[in-house]
Amino acid sequence: MSTTASPPPARAAVRPPRAGRPNGQWKVDGTEPLNANEVFKQESAPLGVRERIEDVYAKHGFDSIPDDDLHGRFRWWGLYTQRKPGIDGGRTATLEPHELEDRYFMLRVRSDGQALSPAALRVLGGISTDFARGTADITDRQNIQYHWISVEDVPEIWRRLDTVGLETTTACGDSPRGFLGSPVAGIAADEIIDPTPAILEIKRRYIGDPELANLPRKFKTAITGHPSLDVVHEINDISLVGVVHPDLGPGYDLWVGGALSTTPRLGERLGVFVTQEQAADVWHGVIRIFRDYGYRRLRNKARLKFLLADWGTERFRQVLQDEYLGYALPDGPAPAAPTRPSDHVGVHEQKDGRFYVGAAPVVGRVGGNTLTGLADLIEQVGAESARLTVHQKVVVLGVPADRVDELVAGLEPLGLTARPSLVRRSTIACTGIEFCKLAIVDTKDTAAAAIATLEERAGDVLASLDTKLEINVNGCPNSCARIQTADIGFKGQLVLSDDGEQVPGFQVHLGGGLTSADREEPGLGRTVRGLKVTADGLADYVEKVVRRFAADREPGETFA
């Protein structure tokens, strides 16, 4: 049951900027650019690079791309250069970015929480097979991410995506990134409100809007109406979370200012109630506050969380209402604590009597054959579509009751399982050293090997645990895979082996977590002094923790 509550106090301190110096806030200091990023964004509209990619760079190749486009504006269309193979993590900090970079790109396609039809899955699979050497990962922001993309192939990729309504628009860059949406929107029997109309309206009005394409930094959005709180709403710049107002009915609770990275901060409630019809306006108001008042001088102080830390929720709400909406929003209730897992893994009945089935790849790796095979399987069993989740999983929607077993069996040969072990279900990993220029250690292969080892060595213990155990593996301190909100978060760094050699490894963060069925209050995990593991020792460490927890736990005790 929801309860009306005032916004909670700030949960993590963020140091305010020094007084007296301009911080590049457009409405306070003017629009004079204060760093190189601000210069290139003002010199030429970032979204305009698409035309040059299509007309010039795709025809004349990698060497025809000037620096400002290659390392700047390409991001606004989801393109980053990837890391050259074979450069170890010890050299990440010593080489210039261009020395680390390959002539190929990572390309991110936003799904925005929307259902992917078999046709869309085939297009996504075909792009992987034809242009990305078979790569395709589900990211923890419900994107599909490819590698090995050549600039020559980008126009054809965009053409194919366009045929099924998919896009890479502002999938990266200082812009509104891909939205997180409930994977069971519109179908779950226990849904409070279907966020699909709000997401589609915001997309229709504002994605690709040049007025919102020069923000101080990235701007992340999450929208859900499901009581499991399935979009990690506490760590987005803006989140709309389904609640029922005692007088006004279903709508959303508004959260702002969450983000992780190296200065993590959980988002805060403004304490207002937003109707479905107001959602797009409110989103537009918050993103314009960020555009107009966000700090632009230092990039590591530019996320919305720093502005919120200075303003506080009361002032933020006031500015939103007075300067951007022109009306007051009513007070509203907070979301109730969830009573079921938010990953949607397993078989669940929909409100229409059909079923949805959540399935786990290994650390989000799907690849072209899996995506195409999934499209075939969905059609074969008469299901409808699939959505991606923030846990790097897939949910198949609209499965007829008498075909559920066939679907579940058909997922296994595709590398997807609806009955994953606890560690396969719980582990996510960022891109890591295989392709990321900032990485210090490998993540995906390390995590996959650890999962296989743990399943073999500790399968009985894992099967006996009925608690969530989130394990998030990151290749550097940037926390793309949410180091601080995991039960066990691994932060990539070089560590000393028993022989005193520097080897790839991880700093361990323990005890973090977002609000879930296992945990009433979110909290950031803490590093334990000196607790580091080598990459080779990751499985041993997790096994030790899991076995000790299983041996010592009280009945019903959760890992959180």
Q: What gap in Å lies between CA 61 and CA 480, rounded to an integer?
A: 30
Two tokens, residue 328 = 């007051």
The 8-class DSSP code of residue 55 comes to I
Q: Which is nearer to ligand SF4, 187 or 480 (CB)?
A: 480
Q: How many CB atoms lie within 10 A of CB 193?
A: 26
Using CB under 6 A, which of the segments 129-137, 189-197, 274-282, 429-437 binds ligand SF4? 429-437
Q: Does 494 bind ligand SF4 (CB under 6 A)?
A: no
Coil, strand, or helix at residue 50? helix
**107 is an interface residue for ligand SF4 by CB under 6 A:** no
CB of 504 to ligand SF4, least distance (A): 12
8 A C-beta contact, residue 465 and residue 456: no
Among 318, 369, 417, 478, binds ligand SF4 (CB under 6 A): 478
The window from 118-126, 325-333, 474-482, 521-529 that contacts ligand SF4 (CB under 6 A) reads 474-482
Which residue reads 């998919």 in tokens? 166
Contact call for residue 432 and ligand SF4 (CB under 6 A): yes
222 binds ligand SF4 (CB under 6 A): no
Cα distances (angstroms) measured from residue 309 to each of 19, 241, 481, 524:
14, 21, 23, 17
Look-up: residue for tokens 């009361």?
Answer: 314
Query: Residue 278: which of 251, 299, 301, 244 has the closest Cα?
Result: 251
Minimum CB separation of residue 302 from ligand SF4 in Å reads 17
Beta-carbon count within 10 A of 236 CB: 25
Residue 188 CB, nearest approach to ligand SF4 (Å) = 31
* Nearer Cβ to ligand SF4 (89/271): 89
Q: CB 175 → ligand SF4: shortest distance, Å?
A: 18
**b or e along 325-344 (b: 16 or more beta carbons within 10 Å of the residue's beta carbon)?**
beeebeebbbbeebeebbbb
Residue 263 engages ligand SF4 in binding (rule: CB under 6 A): no
- Residue 123 in tokens: 């297009």
**Binds ligand SF4 by CB under 6 A, chosen from 157, 212, 439, 469:** 439
Asked if 307 is part of the footprint of ligand SF4 (rule: CB under 6 A), the reply reads no
Please tell me whether residue 493 binds ligand SF4 under the rule CB under 6 A.
no
Q: Does 173 bind ligand SF4 (CB under 6 A)?
A: no
Of 215, 480, 495, 533, the one binding ligand SF4 by CB under 6 A: 480
Query: Is 138 a binder of ligand SF4 (CB under 6 A)?
Result: no
The span of 3-11, 193-201, 338-346, 473-481 binding ligand SF4 (CB under 6 A) equals 473-481
Asked if 202 contacts 279 with a C-beta cutoff of 8 angstroms, the reply is yes
Among 215, 476, 542, 560, binds ligand SF4 (CB under 6 A): 476
Q: From the list 107, 396, 414, 430, which residue makes contact with ligand SF4 (rule: CB under 6 A)?
A: 430
In the complex, minimum distance from the CB of residue 440 to ligand SF4, in angstroms, rounded to a whole number: 7
**534 contacts 540 by C-beta, under 8 angstroms:** no
In whole angstroms, the minimum distance from the beta carbon of 51 to ligand SF4 comes to: 29
> Based on CB atoms, which residue is closest to ligand SF4, 285 or 475?
475
Nearer to ligand SF4, 89 or 118 (CB): 89
Q: Any contact of residue 504 with ligand SF4 (CB under 6 A)?
A: no
Q: By C-beta, is 467 or 478 nearer to ligand SF4?
A: 478
Q: Which of 474, 484, 507, 534 binds ligand SF4 (CB under 6 A)?
A: 474
Residue placing its CB nearer to ligand SF4 in the complex, 334 or 438:
438
Our CB check for ligand SF4 shows the closer of 229 and 439 to be 439
> Which residue lies nearer to ligand SF4 by CB, 260 or 289?
260
* 318/527 with CB nearer ligand SF4: 527
User: Is 121 one of the binding residues for ligand SF4 (CB under 6 A)?
Assistant: no
The per-residue DSSP string of 467-531 comes to: S---EEEESSTT-TT-GGGSSEEEEEEEEE-TTS-EEEEEEEEES-B-SBTTBSS-B--EEEEEE
- # chain residues binding ligand SF4, by CB under 6 A: 12
Q: Is 436 in the site for ligand SF4 (CB under 6 A)?
A: yes
DSSP 320: I
Question: Taking CB under 6 A as the rule, does residue 100 contact ligand SF4?
Answer: no
Structure tokens at 303: 């996320």
Q: At a CB cut-off of 8 Å and minimum separation 6, what does 125 contact?
A: 136, 368, 369, 370, 371, 372, 373, 374, 375
d(CA 408, CA 412): 7
* Closest CB 476 distance from ligand SF4, rounded Å: 3
User: Which residues lie across from 523 on neighbouring strands?
Assistant: 513
Q: 174: closest CA among 212, 201, 209?
A: 212
The candidate with the shortest Cα–Cα distance to 208, out of 255, 259, 173, 238, is 173
Cβ within 8 Å of residue 204, ≥6 positions away: none
Q: Using the minimum distance from each CB to ligand SF4, give the nearer residue, 394 or 428.
A: 428
Q: Nearest residue by C-beta to ligand SF4?
A: 475
Question: Under the rule (CB under 6 A), what is the footprint of ligand SF4?
Answer: 430-432, 436, 438-439, 474-476, 478-480
